A and B are shown apart, each in its own frame.
Chain A
Amino acid sequence: MTGPSPTPALAELRARIALRAPSVRILRHRGTCGDAVGAAMIPFDLRAPVVDAACDGACWAAPAATVVRAGHRHRFARLDRGVPEALAACVRGECDERQAGSGESGVAARLGRNDGTLADVLAQGGYAGYAVAAGLPPPRIIEAAHAAGLTGRGGAHFAAATKWGLVAAHADAAKVLVVNAEEGEPGVFKDRHLLEGDPHRLIEGILIACRATGIRDAYVYINGQARNARAVFEHALADARDAGILDSSLGGAPVTIEVRSGAGGYVCGEESVILNSIEGERPVPRYRPPYATDAGLFGRPTLIHNAETLCAATTIFDSPPPPTKLVPLSGDVPRPGLYEVPVDGNMTWAGVLAMAGAAPGRVQALLLGGPSGRFVLPGEFDAPLEMHPLGAGGTVVLGPRADIARITRELAAYNARESCGECTPCREGTQRLLELLEDPATNRDRIDALIEVMTAASLCALGGMAGRPVTSALAAFPEAFEPRAPSEGSAP
């Protein structure tokens, strides 16, 4: 897989903002992951410059550093246990096995493997996709997104080309793009990594989507706790602005990008809630229709995309575009972290677990999708992965000792706490579901009936999918819900 060749405008920009990096350097992986385990404190006493980078997705390795030489990258893990002599040897050129991912294509190609400067990002192929898009008529960009099979990575996997077409059809010049980087689903940490580790990719994706649809104004709504992600993104945005990239130095029309912070609440990841939040209304879902593509933010035609979707949009001109999904993997697994998984008809859960060092025989189930998710059983581990069932990708590996019943009640309690209260099926249903789970064996029929109502009648997907883990757990692990001691998992 290769990216597109640089256009003359991009070649000029690369020459103007050239990377002047030494032949060998050490990337110290900090970011939220590294800093949470003391990466800033690791001493390096080596004859090579040490520059800070973000987490490269190998969270398990933190605190880690990657030695970068021409055409070569080698990651050294768990430096809290000491900086190995092998790292110094690698700096001297004495190591051959590449260990830090291919770094050549895909959404995570540059993730945590750049020093945060625009020069480094440009040297690694940044903005090549936008440079191509800027020279194409918008319908051709939409065709490319369609051909690449680009779908919404926030979980719904709606075809991006369809959305782009709906918004492009509006002649209204006031139409707007809203980027959902709220990422409030427990167990998901991909957008934070993208914002911290390769913020220019999101900017590039925004510019491509704007070019495809004729949008000139974008809002990026970032999770309120992800302060480092916001700071890094704003820094990159300033660099892109200074380089004229937002102002058509690569072609295309000028685009303004405004950053907003959220302030918590699971429901704030729901797209219509974000619209209300930006407008200063209560953070609750909107009734539909009208759909956002017709009347969204401030009543304007609005394109809403998850941050990962726009990052994936930067790869639609690659040949071929990588059909990948970011999977944040945690739980009972030796190498938890963010994995870019090929959804190519060959990759399976068994393959993903192998990448993370887990023995499938030691896995009871996977929790896929957190409080809106379901349990994936070992019987499904050898089936090829498909994009849509992956949802947002958040996966927790549950080992043999994981208490499925307790986890299920915790998820139900979480949904009850996080229900925004706007619609009755969710507000009352999530509480009632939690109560019924006190004695699921006796209440089984009532649980099924309640979940049917919540699924059909809730205003948004939080309520609509709140019963999913419960249904899944009751079907897959009925023995875990047999009569038992009083609950320990009710709401605090």
Chain B
Amino acid sequence: MPADQPRPFDRDAPDASARLEAAGRGVAALPRRRDQLLPALLAAQQVLDWLPREAITLVAEHVRVPVSEVYATVMGYSELRLERPVPGAWRVCTGVACDLGGARELLDALGAALPGRAAGTDCQFLCALAPVAVDPDERLHGRVTADRIAALARAEAPAERGAT
């Protein structure tokens, strides 16, 4: 099951340095070798939810790879994020099977129901349960409808996300 999704790191928040230290501990647990670059990036993102420049520097120093090369590597992986994600956002899969299953109409309806918090995303590999959506905690939902997502979104506690 997916691990609990962390709140996106905010460098202006009071806990910023504590969270960077936590990310540093995750990274420091790995051997200081170049082949640990991706595991280290994933460990940092696991704590911070994205990779701010502080995390890149921390990883670069640990695995002894130049910061420029770390950036170049990060950009090759679609799941590594260099920008802070929108808190509480839902994503609708727009792969071919989901498209056939009405993903576009779903995305339009969701855009109206959750302004600024709905986006499309590439294939989520749950094609047999199309249309598919990913919730803000990275959980997959199959055979979704706009009403169902709106109901789930309302059930989320808004205070728990974003307000860092």
A interface vs B, CB < 8 Å?
32-33, 35-37, 59-60, 62, 183, 186-189, 192, 223-228, 231, 260-265, 267-268, 277-284, 298, 328-332, 336-338, 367, 370, 396, 398-399, 402, 407, 410-411, 414, 417-418, 420, 492
Evaluate whether A36 and B129 lie within 8 angstroms (CB atoms) in the complex, with A280-B63, A399-B100 already known: yes
Which residues 33-78 in B have Cβ within 8 Å of A in the complex? 33-39, 41-42, 63, 65, 69, 72-73, 76-78
Q: How far is the CB of A370 from the nearest CB of chain B, in Å?
A: 7
Which residues of A are found within 8 Å of B77, using beta-carbon distances? 224, 262-265, 268, 283
A187 in contact with B127 (CB, 8 Å): yes
Which residues of A are found within 8 Å of B33, using beta-carbon distances? 280
Given B3, B100, B123, which contacts A186 in the complex, CB threshold below 8 Å?
Answer: B123
A-B contact pairs, 12 of them (CB 8 A): A59-B126, A186-B95, A187-B97, A224-B79, A228-B1, A261-B39, A264-B78, A277-B38, A280-B37, A281-B34, A396-B100, A420-B76
B120 in contact with A36 (CB, 8 Å): no
Binds A, one of B20-28, B82-90, B109-117, B140-148: B140-148
Q: How far is the CB of B63 from the nearest CB of chain A, in Å?
A: 7
Q: How far is the CB of A454 from the nearest CB of chain B, in Å?
A: 20
Which residues of B are found within 8 Å of A420, using beta-carbon distances? 76
Given B35, B96, B123, B124, which contacts A280 in the complex, CB threshold below 8 Å?
Answer: B35
B2 in contact with A264 (CB, 8 Å): no
A189 in contact with B96 (CB, 8 Å): no
B78 in contact with A414 (CB, 8 Å): no
B129 in contact with A402 (CB, 8 Å): no
Given A60, A268, A337, A410, which contacts B99 in the complex, CB threshold below 8 Å?
Answer: A410
A331 in contact with B142 (CB, 8 Å): no
Task: Please name the residue on chain B nearest to A63 by beta carbon.
Answer: B142
**Residue B122, interface by CB 8 Å:** yes
Which residues of B are found within 8 Å of A189, using beta-carbon distances? 125-128
**Residue B132, interface by CB 8 Å:** yes
**Residue B80, interface by CB 8 Å:** yes
Q: How far is the CB of B80 from the nearest CB of chain A, in Å?
A: 5
**Residue B92, interface by CB 8 Å:** no
Evaluate whether A265 and B78 lie within 8 angstroms (CB atoms) in the complex, with A279-B34, A280-B73 already known: yes
Evaluate whether A36 and B141 lie within 8 angstroms (CB atoms) in the complex, with A228-B1, A263-B78, A414-B122 already known: yes
Instruction: Report how far A37 CA is from B1 CA in the complex, Å.
Output: 14
Instruction: Report how far A263 CA is from B77 CA in the complex, Å.
Output: 5
**Residue B149, interface by CB 8 Å:** no
Number of A-B contacts (CB under 8 A): 150
Beyond known contacts A36-B141, A186-B96: 14 more, CB 8 A cutoff? A33-B126, A33-B129, A36-B139, A37-B143, A224-B79, A262-B79, A265-B78, A278-B38, A280-B34, A280-B35, A332-B100, A337-B128, A411-B96, A418-B78
Which residues of A are found within 8 Å of B35, using beta-carbon distances? 278-280, 298
Instruction: Report how far A36 CA is from B35 CA in the complex, Å.
Output: 34
A183 in contact with B97 (CB, 8 Å): no
Which residues of B are found within 8 Å of A331, using beta-carbon distances? 96-97, 100, 127, 130
Top 4 A-B pairs ranked by shortest CB distance? A59-B128, A186-B123, A280-B37, A264-B78
Q: How far is the CB of B49 from the nearest CB of chain A, in Å?
A: 14
Q: How far is the CB of A488 from the nearest CB of chain B, in Å?
A: 9
Task: Please name the residue on chain B nearest to A190 by beta carbon.
Answer: B125
Instruction: Name which of A265, A331, A370 has the most chain B CB atoms within 10 A of its CB.
Output: A331
Instruction: Report how far A398 CA is from B143 CA in the complex, Å.
Output: 18
Instruction: Report how far A227 CA is from B79 CA in the complex, Å.
Output: 13
Which residues of A are found within 8 Å of B95, using beta-carbon distances? 186-187
Task: Please name the residue on chain B nearest to A406 by beta carbon.
Answer: B99
Which residues of A are found within 8 Å of B122, using beta-carbon distances? 186, 414, 417
Instruction: Report how far A262 CA is from B80 CA in the complex, Å.
Output: 10
A336 in contact with B63 (CB, 8 Å): no
Which residues of A are found within 8 Å of B42, using beta-carbon distances? 224, 261, 263
Which residues of B are found within 8 Å of A329, using beta-carbon distances? 128
A410 in contact with B96 (CB, 8 Å): yes
Task: Please name the residue on chain B nearest to A398 by beta carbon.
Answer: B100
Which residues of B are found within 8 Å of A398, using beta-carbon distances? 100
A330 in contact with B76 (CB, 8 Å): no
Evaluate whether A396 and B96 lie within 8 angstroms (CB atoms) in the complex, with A283-B73, A283-B76 already known: yes
